[in-house]
Amino acid sequence: MGEPLTAAVLSGAEGSDLVTDRPASRPLGPEEYTRFERARILGARALQISLGAPILTDVPADLVDPVAIAELEFAAGRIPITVRRNSAS
């Protein structure tokens, strides 16, 4: 029997790179949230703001919509919410 599909295989040449059949996973950073994560973050933060949480960025005095304020905070990277992802193995 051959090697399992997920096994790493070294190529024959000396000093060669490690070759696998899995694509290289790229870590998602704060600027690469999925649309679902972004919606959840904005919704949670808008709810916090509507319930009286302090606003963490400068907003115009005439801006009172919690969703718009949450979007400004999200764009500024000031929202104190983290996303935990399960590693897909």
Of 82 and 3, which is predicted with more confidence?
A: 82
Q: Give the chain's domains with CATH numbers.
A: 30-89 (3.90.940.10)
Cα–Cα distance measured from residue 41 to residue 60, given in angstroms and rounded to the nearest whole number: 22
How much is the mean pLDDT over the chain? 79
Nearest to 79 by CA among 64, 69, 65, 89: 69
Model confidence pLDDT, tens digit, residues 56-67: 999 999 999 999
Cα–Cα distance measured from residue 3 to residue 24, given in angstroms and rounded to the nearest whole number: 20
